[in-house]
């Protein structure tokens, strides 16, 4: 049902190409610049930090372009593709904000619990970094701008691309894999990739795969939006590192300036945390028929009448 929502709009190839180019151009250029340009990511970050000595202002500058990008994507979907934002979000008759809230709350609790366990096992790994006024401003910026940042990524990859690729190839497994890889590649220019190596791409692609699975199983973006918001909010406000893409005055900071993240630390969320979250979501929302939902065929527009459903 979710992928078939694309049939509610005009999917002319030239419109898809224009939307893709306009929404991805800045990221593709950034990746090429990092991969083929003669630059040092760490030196570039240090230069920016020295030029702009206010972490909250720098954080604001990093997130603010996503306001334009999300509004651009929405405008292209509504006016170019002539379809509603509800159809881009969910197969239900309206966006289920309770699902967003439940996912956010669950991931927030799991994230805090995971950090407490890590802090107990490795107490010297992080240091307390609380700066009251700066932290309050950080929280406000996060609550204001993260919805645009995570909204753009989810609506573009799990929404627009998932649906457009699905109605072309007429199956579900290929758009699931393709959008997960695309999501990972979009983070290729992140400084932590340069610091920790290609191993981090396992995490990004694995996370994209997890978000794609819950989108297809639930026939909507709501759970993915809640997860992504909670994850990024905690990454910015709870604990950060000098090599992270998010340079903030968080509550805690990793003591070492060098990354010593192991292969197993990358695998823990993918192999343990994400499956647990899947089980919780599946139990709560009574997911069934996993094989068909994740790998089944997508009927053509002539074979089906696209409808919405309620729960």
40-49, 129-138, 143-152: the lowest-pLDDT one: 40-49
> 61 - beta bridge partners?
none
Checking if the pLDDT of 236 tops 50, the result is: yes
For residues 84 and 35, give the distance between their C-alpha atoms in angstroms, rounded to a whole number.
Answer: 37
Q: How confident is the model at residue 29 (pLDDT cuts 50, 70, 90)?
A: confident
Asked whether the predicted pLDDT for residue 137 surpasses 90, the reply is yes
Q: At how many degrees (to 10) do helices 222-237 and 132-153 cross?
A: 150
Confirm whether 301 is domain-assigned.
no
> What does the pLDDT average to over 46-67?
78
Does residue 307 lie in a domain region? no
116 domain-assigned:
yes
Strands (E), the chain: 126-128, 239-240, 252-254
pLDDT at residue 141 tops 50: yes
Provide the domain count of the chain.
Answer: 1
Tell me how far apart the alpha carbons of residues 298 and 92 are, in angstroms, rounded to a whole number: 18
> Is 304 part of any domain?
no
What is residue 308's predicted lDDT score, i.e. its pLDDT? 46
Q: pLDDT tens, 214-233?
A: 999 999 999 999 999 999 99
Q: Would the pLDDT of 93 be above 50?
A: yes
Would residue 303 count as lying in a domain?
no
Question: Model confidence over 176-196: pLDDT tens digits?
Answer: 999 999 998 888 777 666 666
| Backbone torsions φ then ψ of 297, nearest 5 degrees | -85, 145
- Find out whether 250 and 183 touch, Cβ atoms under 8 Å: no
Give the side-chain half-sphere CA count within 13 A for 54: 8
Q: Say yes or no to pLDDT of 39 above 70.
A: no
CA angle at 78 for the pair 77 and 84, rounded to the nearest 5°? 100
Q: Which residue in this structure is represented by tokens 């630390």?
A: 265
- For 109-127, write each residue's pLDDT tens digit: 999 999 998 888 877 788 8
pLDDT at residue 281 tops 60: yes
Quick check: is 254 in a domain?
yes
Confidence band of 256 (pLDDT split at 50, 70, 90)? low
202 pLDDT tier (thresholds 50, 70, 90): confident
Q: What is the mean pLDDT of residues 86-90?
A: 97
* 129 within a domain of the structure (yes/no): yes
| pLDDT, position 1 | 87
Give the residue-averaged pLDDT of 240-261.
Answer: 75
How is the beta sheet containing 126-128 ordered, strand by strand?
Answer: 126-128, 252-254, 239-240
Q: Which two tokens stand for residue 155?
A: 């609506």
Q: Which domain holds residue 262?
A: 3-295
Q: Residue 195 has which token pair?
A: 């610091």
**8 pLDDT tier (thresholds 50, 70, 90):** very high
Where is average pLDDT lowest: 84-88, 196-200, 204-208?
196-200
Read off the pTM: 0.90
């Amino acid at each position: 049902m979710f992928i078939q929502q694309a049939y509610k709009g005009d999917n002319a190839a030239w419109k898809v190409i224009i939307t893709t180019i306009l929404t991805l151009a800045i990221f593709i250029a950034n990746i090429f610049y990092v991969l083929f340009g003669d630059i040092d990511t760490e030196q570039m970050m240090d230069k920016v930090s020295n030029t702009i000595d206010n972490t909250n202002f720098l954080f604001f500058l990093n997130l603010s372009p996503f306001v334009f990008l999300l509004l651009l994507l929405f405008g292209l979907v509504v006016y170019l593709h002539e379809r509603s934002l509800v159809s881009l979000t969910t197969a239900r008759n309206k966006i289920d904000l309770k699902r967003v809230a439940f996912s956010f709350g669950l991931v927030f609790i799991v994230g805090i619990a995971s950090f407490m366990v890590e802090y107990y096992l490795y107490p010297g790994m992080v240091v307390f970094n609380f700066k009251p006024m700066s932290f309050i401003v950080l929280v406000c910026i996060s609550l204001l701008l993260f919805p645009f940042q995570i909204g753009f990524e989810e609506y573009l990859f799990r929404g627009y691309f998932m649906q457009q690729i699905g109605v072309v190839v007429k199956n579900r497994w290929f758009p699931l894999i393709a959008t997960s890889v695309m999501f990972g590649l979009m983070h290729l220019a992140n400084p932590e990739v340069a610091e920790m190596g290609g191993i981090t791409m396992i995490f990004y692609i694995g996370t994209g795969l997890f978000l794609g699975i819950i989108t297809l199983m639930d026939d909507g973006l709501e759970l993915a939006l809640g997860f992504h918001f909670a994850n990024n909010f905690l990454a910015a406000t709870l604990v950060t590192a000098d090599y992270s893409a998010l340079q903030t005055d968080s509550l805690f900071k990793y003591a070492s300036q060098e990354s010593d993240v192991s292969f197993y630390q990358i695998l823990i969320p993918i192999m343990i945390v994400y499956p647990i979250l899947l089980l919780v979501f599946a139990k709560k929302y009574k997911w069934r028929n996993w094989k068909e939902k994740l790998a089944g065929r997508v009927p053509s527009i002539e074979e089906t009448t696209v409808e919405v459903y309620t729960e």
